[in-house]
Amino acid sequence: GTYTILAQIAADGLGLPMERVTVRLNDSSLPAAPVEGGSWTAASSGTAVDMACASLRDRLHRAAKGLPGSPLAGTDLEQVVFRDGHIVLARDPSRRMALRDATIAGGAALVAAEAKASPGVLTQMRYSAYTHMAVFVEARVDEELGIVRIPRVVAAVAAGRILNPKTARSQIIGGVTWGIGMALHEESMPDHRLGRFMNHSFAEYHVPVSADVGEIEVIFVDERDDKASPIGVKGLGEIGIVGTAAAVANAIRHACGVRVRSLPITVEKVLAGL
């Protein structure tokens, strides 16, 4: 997902097709980056890529308009757009120059730019920026056997600017699936005498499989937030799981009247309540 969205941001920022963008990650020779976690990768790394592209646009435009007889001579950066691998004068698209020619005009085989992105201290003091989700669960309870099935989950998410709806949807589906596992399946069994977990394999630690997960519908609520990050992005890493287990418990309560307050909600706990 990170490779995809960073390529999208760079391609959009420089007016290039995505196949002409190469994203490199996880190499100690590269600039320092935040950890892949905390729901902040898209906002932080994405902002840095966007800022680096802005710097590159400025350098390439200055090189292009400085060439003798340049079609962009006398223009300002605000007057041009980067589109289809060219720098184009917005009011007269016939006046354009290929990015390759602008790079050569800079007098070097490579035009590079670096950018550093970090949260503004005053903005953090004045505003809170969180992703929000409302999750709705349909639960079916067998009142004789105590078995719970979850045929449908609907998750409505407000997460600022969604860079890639396909990968973002997959991220939420994964989180909701985790939430179902948290609610109904997953439980660590410690031995308090030995201080060890006794069910430390997937043969004994149950996670939801396809038969346990029904339809999951993801709705992204349109939200523009220029305080969360300069590119309007918020995190999606954890939000899918946060409310799902509670919604499952509430749905079970609504279905059969049993309120279970410890997870996972097992057959034994449901039968005891019934």
* Segment 146-154 mean pLDDT: 97
Give yes or no for residue 23 having a pLDDT over 80: yes
Query: What pTM was computed for the model?
Result: 0.85
* Segment 49-61 mean pLDDT: 94
* Segment 75-94 mean pLDDT: 94
For the stretch 234-246, pLDDT in tens is: 888 889 999 999 9
Give the DSSP letter string of the chain.
-HHHHHHHHHHHHHT--GGG-----S-TTSPP---S-TT-HHHHHHHHHHHHHHHHHHHHHHHHHTSTT-TTTT--GGGEEEETTEEEETT-TTSEEEHHHHHHHTTSS-----------HHHHHH-----EEEEEEEEEE-TTT--EEEEEEEEEEE-B--S-HHHHHHHHHHHHHHHHHHHHT----EETTTTEES--STTTS----GGG--EEEEEEPP---TTT-TT-B---TTHHHHTHHHHHHHHHHHHHS----SSS--HHHHHHH-
| Residues that are catalytic | 238
Give yes or no for residue 130 having a pLDDT over 90: no
Mean pLDDT, the chain, whole residue set: 92
